[in-house]
Structure 1
């Protein structure tokens, strides 16, 4: 009995410890977290919000990289990538995701494309590459990997948002992305070319921001659902689907109509990253990244993250 009480107290202390650090990035407004674990360090890739307090639209001029060895102290490595680093891009550092393969780091970004003979504009996906997780990064191919014209199932110009890369156990890499519908394609081993057609599907309540990972032979697809956005998820026994809707991970967040999931395992624990607008002067256009523990039931389903009366988020016990 005493042992059980001690374990419960330790669990609550761990939760209190991480809550004391939320938001994890406080000196600037950040959004769209994309965490990566590499060599016992967590690297957090994020967009920066610079909209004014009264703004009613997004201002996202750059992407930052932060790093931590303990999930408490975070180092800002600065605005290491900007839309202007891509000659074909015009503006808007939308959600992005970095992944490591064979000692190189591939950073998939979504950004507005210039009106050119290649594309008439709209959101496109590019890829930058570096030998180091904190850069310097450069455009890997000198053009967009995916343009708005390549996907026609949705008619709006921003349906190619929010890329998320995943490498399966057999070494095959995939890219997931989308707004309005979820899209995916194989990547060649070089990580800078598609290897086959673009596939589309619509998970229940899907809005945008897919995040894919694998745990105990089960594939998980977390995504922003509805609007204002919650985080819902689906699972599959095959990366190609079919995907089974499993419910909600997180209700709509504080003071922001959007949110964005990111999941990692680090030092024996699972973590769930997201953003909200809870910092002073925060809003849907001045967001902040937070993190919570992510826990699973014995059948592999995710325990919902709920909000207490005091507004502190915790994982159900």
Structure 2
């Protein structure tokens, strides 16, 4: 998601989404070759969040349904799964924003984490009038395909808890990283990057809310660890590159830093103001998920609120940096390189 004040005024989506995905039905890419981009041709999807569990990759996405006069209309979170990263099964909706009794709408970016056999969905929603603004809820399930239910009965993060931003949508895009010692950390935020330690029960904070200065950070953080290095990806706007978001990243020797800015990982998504990262290692290979708005479905053109998830291979360099990611129609339908060298 993205939300500068100018973008709210200038980026209005067009058209009406009518396509939907049936639970348990296979999904194929729009190019026909398994693993090519975009991944799903039956439904618009955004904000990809992958998770590996028991030999399968589960991919959680928002269901884009923007109409003629809407920027965003995202009413539910969907999940797909695969045992080979190329053939995906749709499992249908796992939750809606209104399943949180205190929320009113907006299934914005989410992520699922597993701990002790339970699955925790951290999700962005609009809080009701008791604390208006974007908020982060946490839901729980005994299955990665849900259904998920509110784990707290109240928001984990509310707009009134963070007062640094001048707008009401700074509490968005939650991502949770569990370190090797089992400690879990929550990162989130638009224009301001917040983070806090989570309690062992995964549904409470266990320390103060802190901030990181990673200019030009915009939103959409995502963290992974490889060979002792922590990687923090995020959507940024470097206007020397584009007025649309790009993915930048930073590295650190620990989850709390110090973080070293590494610059751009990939440029803007085609036809899309927003872009949102998600990474996963599966069977020894790293993958990078993102979205753009290049795809049309049933005659409806892609737009800021009608996006499509994509995937590419991700390669780590020996010096701890990442290789630039090229956005391709082939995606991972072709084999990965045998080494990480270009």
TM value normalised by structure 1: 0.90
- In 1, Cα distance between the equivalents of 2:330 and 2:54? 31
Structure 2 counterpart SS, 1:87: coil
Contact persistence 1:111–1:125 (CA under 8 A): yes
- In 2, Cα distance between the equivalents of 1:109 and 1:34? 11
Aligned counterpart, 2:175: 164
Aligned-residue RMSD, C-alpha: 1.8
Contact persistence 1:106–1:129 (CA under 8 A): yes
Matches within 5 A, 1:60-79: 60-79=74-93
Contact persistence 2:233–2:247 (CA under 8 A): yes
Q: Do structure 1's residue 122 and structure 2's residue 122 form an aligned pair? A: no
Q: CA deviation at 1:213?
A: 1.3
Contact persistence 1:123–1:159 (CA under 8 A): yes
Contact persistence 1:49–1:59 (CA under 8 A): yes
Structure 1 counterpart SS, 2:251: strand
- In 2, Cα distance between the equivalents of 1:21 and 1:312? 5
Structure 2 counterpart SS, 1:149: helix
| One of 206, 215, 222 as aligned partner of 2:226 | 215
- In 2, Cα distance between the equivalents of 1:95 and 1:27? 20
- In 2, Cα distance between the equivalents of 1:97 and 1:55? 28
**Larger RCO: 1 or 2 (CA < 8 Å, sep 6+):** 2
- In 2, Cα distance between the equivalents of 1:73 and 1:20? 7
Aligned counterpart, 1:279: 295
Q: Do structure 1's residue 305 and structure 2's residue 305 form an aligned pair? A: no
| One of 32, 42, 57 as aligned partner of 1:42 | 57
- In 2, Cα distance between the equivalents of 1:17 and 1:27? 12
- In 1, Cα distance between the equivalents of 2:53 and 2:32? 23
Aligned counterpart, 2:24: none
| One of 306, 312, 321 as aligned partner of 1:292 | 312
Give the direction of change, closer, same or farther, for the CA distance of 1:18–1:188 in structure 2 (3 Å limit). Answer: farther
Higher helix share: 1
- Map Cα deviations across residues 261-308 of structure 1 (whole Å, 9 max, x no partner): 000000110000000001111111100000000012221211001357
Give the unaligned 5+ runs of structure 2.
Answer: 1-30, 238-242
TM value normalised by structure 2: 0.83
- In 2, Cα distance between the equivalents of 1:307 and 1:259? 12
Question: How many residues are paired up?
Answer: 296
- In 1, Cα distance between the equivalents of 2:325 and 2:119? 31
Aligned counterpart, 2:125: 111
- In 2, Cα distance between the equivalents of 1:203 and 1:147? 23
Structure 2 counterpart SS, 1:62: strand
Q: CA deviation at 1:57?
A: 0.8
Contact persistence 1:55–1:285 (CA under 8 A): no
Give the unaligned 5+ runs of structure 1.
Answer: 1-15
